[in-house]
């Protein structure tokens, strides 16, 4: 089972998210509850490949 390790955008602490705890809003976006600050945070899964380093404009 894959785990996601992300920094919480609200409190800045690392979150270890299990797949069963993650809600997929679409193929690139997940939502989960931060175990530290208990906020629902939305995360973009696009961290690899050519788009990761460049600016990501909404479209
Ligand atoms: Zn947090």
Domain range list for the chain: 3-48
Express each pLDDT in 12-40 by its tens digit: 999 988 888 899 999 999 999 999 999 99
CA–CA gap between residue 50 and residue 56 (Å, rounded): 11
Q: Give the number of residues written for the chain.
A: 59
Q: How far is the CA of 49 from the centre of ligand 1 (A)?
A: 26
Ligand 1: distance of its center to the CA of 40 in Å? Answer: 8
Instruction: Tell whether the model's pLDDT for residue 47 goes beyond 70.
Output: no
Phi, psi of 56 (to 5 degrees): -110, 105
What is the 41 CA–ligand 1 centroid distance (Å)? 8
- Separation of 21 CA from ligand 1 center, angstroms? 15
Residue 57 has pLDDT above 80, yes or no: no
| 14 Cα to the center of ligand 1, angstroms | 8
Structural tokens at position 46: 């696009």
Global pTM? 0.64
Q: Alpha-carbon distance 16 to 28, whole Å? A: 18
Distance of CA 57 to the CA centre of its chain: 17
Cβ(29)–Cβ(37) below 8 Å: no
């Amino acid at each position: 089972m894959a785990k996601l390790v992300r920094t919480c955008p609200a409190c800045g602490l690392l979150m270890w998210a299990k797949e069963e705890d993650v809600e997929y809003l679409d193929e690139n976006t997940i939502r989960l509850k931060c175990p530290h600050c208990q906020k629902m945070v939305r995360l973009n899964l696009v961290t690899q490949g050519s788009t990761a380093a460049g600016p990501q404009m909404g479209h």
